[in-house]
Amino acid sequence: MPLVSTTFAAIDIGSNSCRLKIARIVAHRLKTLHEDREVTRLGTSVFDTGLVSPDAMAVTLRALKRFQRAVQAHGVEQIRVVATSAMRDARNAQAFVSWAKAETGWTIEIISGLEEGRLIHRGVMTNEPGSSGRVILVDVGGGSCEITLSEHQRIKETVSLPLGAVRLTQEFIPTDPATEEGLARMKQFIGRELRRAHKRIQPENVPLVIATSGTAAALAEAHTVLVKQEAAVTAAGTRTKATTAKVATSVRAKAVSKTAAVGEVPITTTHQVRRLATKLRKMSMPERAAVPGIGPKRAEIIVAGAFVYAELLEAFSLPGFRYSSLGLRDGILAQMLAEQDDRATVHQQFEQERWESVLATARRYGVNLKMAEPVKAHAEQLFRDLAPLHKLPPEYENWLAAAAMLSDTGKFLNHQGHHRHAQYIISSSEIYGYTQPQRTIISAIARYLGKTRPQPEDRAMRNIPAQEHGHVQRSVVLLRLAIALNQDRASDVLRVTARVYPKRILLELEPGRTGAELELWSLRKEADYFREVFGRELFVTLA
């Protein structure tokens, strides 16, 4: 059956601005239909008081409502709305999430800095296949700075630092012009954070830096325009102001056209970034606002953003950066494509990336992978063989497999009550490729493997939508059967055949070298709960 074209929308609620991108699947790739952006300064009050101000909420909500009209006009079928640094820090973030839900019907997902970095990486690498080798991605947003080391289009390390342009401006240089003391304190703070990041990123021998977000775009364009303006004025000598303005306009138009397509923008060298940061710092607000590429709103925060880039490039001994118009929204859309279309190139990359993250989490908490793998394999087999019975959505196969691999993570904290600990670890861990709601579902599947059964009022189930409760319960039963099939850890892995009949389910076990008596007994113990959930008898026999 051919794939039906699906239209996606991604919304990024940042600390400085909100951005929308709408795209449609065409021939297993994404075609952009519409983009929009609104400067909302959501983070200004947060970085000062710890709270999102009512005015900032209202401005952001107006932008979201405008985005909603575009979403409706383009017939969007799937939408994902994420919020970043400001909402991570705001003590009243949930109040805004609830207000936005009531006004738009959208659920805002507050993502971590590491997930933000992963999505930016996915957005850039999916759309820039030539960026192989060692690459550093830098995204200086309003509230945070994400730095990612990529090798052959795979993440090696990601860090998120509190070096956003709005945050730094608010804290260190709120006046214009900036004071020498404020600049010195800001540089000291930036240096301290970068030294911490350097230990993890290890940027030696990185030939390419790709910078994303509005600050990088402004710096790239401003540098290009200013250099050409200076050259034009020098060459003209006595050229009139009117003619100079005409040249500047022409130069700006050329610079804008150059930034329109990824890969066409030349490298902005480290020396040029430092020179530009110094130049901008000496300008007044109106002078900065008049610089092409910056404008009135960016002029307020560009000094802080420029200094972050200058300090970072020098501290990491990097040659400069190349601007990319890609970013968080593109990563969100790429992930939506990967989840929807298993023939898309990004699908295999996405599946490999998130499964590696599951394995890394398992290792971090001391899970014996050789013991967990047979449980996972049996869980996946039962999911497929019993599909006519459980009728679970396809995505639950992956979530069930992840729960199987991570169900023993709780033993890292304490063997007693380890299922409760596993639920907490899974729901709280950074597992790339899984949203917070997805991790919550995975954690609930891993939670109910002892004597307790899922109840709507349980802490593990409370944040899961009511319509998913039945799916979780059926997944729990499948995982319990998979675990029961692997009771005798010393024996070889048993083979099982599942047969679905109108009134009963038959599991036939092929005994291993040491028999299958313990597994047989364990499976039969699950018969009552199986009948309670599926309404059919479970029979277990030896083949």
pLDDT tens per residue, range 203-213: 988 988 999 98
Residue 463 sits in which domain range? 344-542
**293, 325, 357 — which closes off a domain?**
325
Residue 140's SS3 state is: strand
Does 150 have pLDDT greater than 80? Answer: yes
Which amino acid is it at 441? I
| pLDDT bracket for residue 129 (50, 70, 90) | low
Distances (CA, A) of 91 to 50, 71, 96: 6, 29, 10
Does residue 517 share a domain with residue 430?
yes
In a domain, 1, yes or no: no
The pLDDT value given to residue 251: 42
Does 281 have pLDDT greater than 90? Answer: yes
pLDDT tens readout for residues 68-80: 999 999 999 999 9
Average pLDDT over every residue of 198-223: 91
Does residue 205 share a domain with residue 103?
no
Does 43 have pLDDT greater than 60? Answer: yes
In a domain, 120, yes or no: no
Domain count, the chain: 3
Does residue 433 share a domain with residue 460?
yes
| pLDDT bracket for residue 260 (50, 70, 90) | very low
CA 411 to chain CA centroid, Å, is: 28
Flag the least confident range among 126-130, 141-145, 341-345. 126-130
Q: Is 17 left (phi over 0), alpha (psi -120 to 50) or beta?
A: beta
Flag the least confident range among 120-134, 243-257, 462-476, 500-514. 243-257
* Spatial distance between the Cα atoms of 430 and 394, rounded to a whole number of angstroms: 23
The pLDDT value given to residue 1: 37
User: Are 406 and 426 a contacting pair, CB within 8 Å?
Assistant: yes
- Say which CATH number the domain at 459 has: 1.10.3210.10
Does 292 have pLDDT greater than 60? Answer: yes
Does residue 432 share a domain with residue 308?
no
The pLDDT value given to residue 233: 67
Does 404 have pLDDT greater than 60? Answer: yes
Does residue 412 share a domain with residue 373?
yes
The pLDDT value given to residue 130: 59
User: Are 251 and 258 a contacting pair, CB within 8 Å?
Assistant: no
Does residue 159 share a domain with residue 234?
yes
The pLDDT value given to residue 5: 60
CA 42 to chain CA centroid, Å, is: 20
Q: Is 379 left (phi over 0), alpha (psi -120 to 50) or beta?
A: alpha
Average pLDDT over every residue of 434-460: 93
Residue 515's SS3 state is: strand
Does residue 315 share a domain with residue 263?
yes
**83, 110, 137 — which closes off a domain?**
110
Q: Spell out the residues 6+ positions from residue 300 whose beta carbon is closer than 8 angstroms to its own.
A: 169, 176, 285
Does 190 have pLDDT greater than 60? Answer: yes
Does residue 136 share a domain with residue 92?
no
